[in-house]
Amino acid sequence: MVKSDRLLAIPMKITAIDGFNAHCEAKGVERDVSLFMMQNDIPQVGDFVMVHVGYAIQKMSAEEARSSWEIFDMALGTADIPLTPGDDHV
């Protein structure tokens, strides 16, 4: 068995927060995400976070989110979908 310390996390923008739950959006997809794992560094509305299996695990800049999506877009062929509403580029 091969052990790996890598995981897949998706960059998403926080659109609302209620306690330790956030509503996030990316590429037209909306999800409710737990902020429980970020209790020491609670993000704010408008921040980008990396989301893994329903948990925000790390804050990131908007530029880091765009760069991550550029890589996903190349693999998935989704470059024509904006990262967030009103975004004219990824």
Is residue 82 in a domain? no
The rounded distance, in Å, linking the Cα atoms of 28 and 35 is 21
**Mean of the per-residue pLDDT values for the chain?**
86
CATH number at residue 36: 2.30.30.140
**Residue 74 pLDDT:** 81
Kindly state the DSSP code that residue 65 receives in the 8-state scheme. H
**Residue 90 pLDDT:** 42
Report which of 46, 64, 79, 86 is spatially closest to residue 10, judged by C-alpha positions: 64
Is residue 50 in a domain? yes
- 32 vs 76 pLDDT, higher one: 32
Kindly state the DSSP code that residue 11 receives in the 8-state scheme. E
Q: Specify the number of domains making up the chain.
A: 1
Q: Which domain holds residue 15?
A: 10-76
- 84 vs 16 pLDDT, higher one: 16
Is residue 2 in a domain? no
- The first and second tokens of residue 77, run together, are 């062929």
**Residue 53 pLDDT:** 94
The three-state secondary structure class of 27 is coil
The rounded distance, in Å, linking the Cα atoms of 58 and 86 is 24
Is residue 83 in a domain? no
pLDDT tens across 13-55, in order? 999 999 999 999 998 899 999 999 998 998 999 999 999 999 9
